[in-house]
Amino acid sequence: MLSAFAALPALPMLLPTFALAQLSASPAGQTPATNPLPSWNDTAPKKAIFDFVERVTKQGSPDFVREAERIATFDNDGTLWAEQPLYSQLLFALDRVKVLAPQHPEWATEEPFALLLKGDVRAALAGGEPAIAKIVMATHAGMISMEFTEIVRDWIATAKHPVTGRLYTEMVYQPMLELVAYLRSNNFNNFIVSGGGIDFMRQWTDRVYGIVPEKVVGSSGKTKFEMQNGKWVLMRLPEISFIDDGPGKPVGIHEHIGLRPIAAFDNSDGDQAMLEWTTGDKSRSRFGLLVHHTDAVREWAYDRDSKVGKLDKALDAAPAEGWTVMSMKDDWNKIFPFGSK
Stretch near a second copy under the rule CB under 8 A, chosen from 29-37, 121-129, 216-224, 305-313: 216-224
Q: Closest Cα partner for 87 from 278, 180, 218?
A: 218
Task: Give yes or no for residue 231 binding a second copy (CB under 8 A).
Answer: yes
The only residue of 134, 256, 298, 334 in contact with a second copy, by rule CB under 8 A: 256
Angle at 176 between CA 316 and CA 181, to 5 degrees: 135
Question: Distance from CA of residue 309 to its chain's centroid?
Answer: 11
Q: How far apart are CA 71 and CA 54, in angstroms?
A: 15
Task: Give yes or no for residue 251 binding a second copy (CB under 8 A).
Answer: yes
Helix (H) or strand (E) holding 340: none
Q: How far apart are CA 192 and CA 126, in angstroms?
A: 29
Q: Could you write out the DSSP letters of every residue in 131-197?
A: HHHHHHHHHHSSSBHHHHHHHHHHHHHH-B-TTT--BGGGSB-HHHHHHHHHHHHTT-EEEEEEEEE
Task: Give yes or no for residue 320 binding a second copy (CB under 8 A).
Answer: no
Q: Could you write out the DSSP letters of every residue in 228-242?
A: ETTEEEEEEEEEEEE
Stretch near a second copy under the rule CB under 8 A, chosen from 38-46, 79-87, 219-227, 285-293: 219-227
Nearest CB to a second copy, comparing residues 231 and 307: 231
Binding track, positions 60-79, relative to a second copy; x by CB under 8 A: --------x-----------
Task: Give yes or no for residue 224 binding a second copy (CB under 8 A).
Answer: yes
Task: Give yes or no for residue 232 binding a second copy (CB under 8 A).
Answer: yes
Q: Closest Cα partner for 57 from 177, 184, 193?
A: 184
The only residue of 105, 129, 130, 225 in contact with a second copy, by rule CB under 8 A: 225
CB 117 within 8 A of CB 107: yes
The only residue of 11, 47, 247, 333 in contact with a second copy, by rule CB under 8 A: 247
Binding track, positions 139-168, relative to a second copy; x by CB under 8 A: ------x-----------------------
Instruction: Please report, as ranges, the residues that interact with a second copy according to CB under 8 A.
Output: 68, 145, 189, 198-199, 202, 206, 212-216, 220, 222-226, 231-232, 234, 241, 247-251, 254-259, 273, 276-277, 280
